[in-house]
Chains A and B, each alone.
Chain A
Amino acid sequence: MGIQFENVSVRFGDAQVLRDINLVLTEKRVGVIGNNGSGKSTLARLINGLVLPTTGRVDVDHLDTRTHGLEVRKRVGFVFQNPDAQIVMPTVAEDAAFGPRAHGLSAAEAAAAAEKALAQFGLTSLKDRAAFTLSGGEKQALALAGVVATQPEWIVFDEPTTMLDRKRAKMAVSTIAGLAQNVIVVTHHVELLAGFDRVIVLDAGRVVCDDSPTNAIAHYVETLT
Chain B
Amino acid sequence: MSLGVYQPGDSVIHRASPGLKLTALAAYAVGLSIVSATLSIVLLAAIGAAAWLSAGFTAQRLAMNLRPMLWILLALFGFQCVAAGAVVAAHTALTLMALVTGAALVSHTTRTDDMLECLTMALSPFARLGVKPENAAFALVFTVRLVPFVSSVGREAIQARVARGAGRNHFTALVPMVIRLMRETDALSEALVARGFGRT
Binds A, one of B13-21, B78-86, B121-129, B190-198: B190-198
Secondary structure call for the B interface: helix
Name the contact of A90 in the complex, choosing from B144, B192, B193, B196 (C-beta under 8 A).
Answer: B144
Q: Does B23 lie at the interface of the complex (its beta carbon under 8 Å from any beta carbon of A)?
A: no
A128 surroundings in chain B (CB, below 8 A): 6-8
Q: Does A132 lie at the interface of the complex (its beta carbon under 8 Å from any beta carbon of B)?
A: yes
Q: Does B87 lie at the interface of the complex (its beta carbon under 8 Å from any beta carbon of A)?
A: no
Name the contact of A91 in the complex, choosing from B6, B152, B191 (C-beta under 8 A).
Answer: B6
B199 surroundings in chain A (CB, below 8 A): 69-70
> With A and B bound together, what is the CA distance between A73 and B197 in angstroms?
10
Q: Does B39 lie at the interface of the complex (its beta carbon under 8 Å from any beta carbon of A)?
A: no
Total inter-chain residue pairs, C-beta < 8 Å? 81
Q: Does B10 lie at the interface of the complex (its beta carbon under 8 Å from any beta carbon of A)?
A: no
> With A and B bound together, what is the CA distance between A82 and B187 in angstroms?
9
Size class of B's contact patch?
20 to 34
Contact status A98-B195, CB under 8 Å: yes
Q: Does B145 lie at the interface of the complex (its beta carbon under 8 Å from any beta carbon of A)?
A: yes
A150 surroundings in chain B (CB, below 8 A): 195-196
B7 surroundings in chain A (CB, below 8 A): 128
Name the contact of B191 in the complex, choosing from A88, A94, A97, A103 (C-beta under 8 A).
Answer: A88
Binary per-residue interface labels of chain A (45-78) against chain B in the complex, 1 for a CB within 8 Å, 0 otherwise? 0001010000000000000000001100110011
Q: Does A86 lie at the interface of the complex (its beta carbon under 8 Å from any beta carbon of B)?
A: yes
A80 surroundings in chain B (CB, below 8 A): 187, 190-191, 194
A130 with B184, Cβ < 8 A, contacts A90-B145, A99-B195, A103-B196 known: no
> With A and B bound together, what is the CA distance between A180 and B142 in angstroms?
32
Interface centre among B2, B152, B184 (most CB of A within 10 A): B2
Q: Does B188 lie at the interface of the complex (its beta carbon under 8 Å from any beta carbon of A)?
A: yes
Contact status B194-A50, CB under 8 Å: yes
What is the distance, in angstroms, from A176's C-beta to the closest C-beta of chain B?
18
A88 surroundings in chain B (CB, below 8 A): 142, 145, 188, 191-192, 195
Name the contact of B196 in the complex, choosing from A74, A89, A130 (C-beta under 8 A).
Answer: A74
Contact status B195-A102, CB under 8 Å: yes
A175 surroundings in chain B (CB, below 8 A): none
Name the contact of A94 in the complex, choosing from B2, B111, B148 (C-beta under 8 A).
Answer: B111
> With A and B bound together, what is the CA distance between A70 and B152 in angstroms?
32
Q: Does A85 lie at the interface of the complex (its beta carbon under 8 Å from any beta carbon of B)?
A: yes
Q: Does B5 lie at the interface of the complex (its beta carbon under 8 Å from any beta carbon of A)?
A: yes
Contact status A90-B149, CB under 8 Å: no
Contact status A86-B196, CB under 8 Å: no
Q: What are 14 A-B contacts with C-beta separation under 8 Å?
A: A48-B194, A50-B193, A73-B195, A80-B187, A82-B187, A85-B190, A86-B195, A88-B142, A90-B145, A94-B111, A94-B112, A107-B113, A128-B6, A150-B195
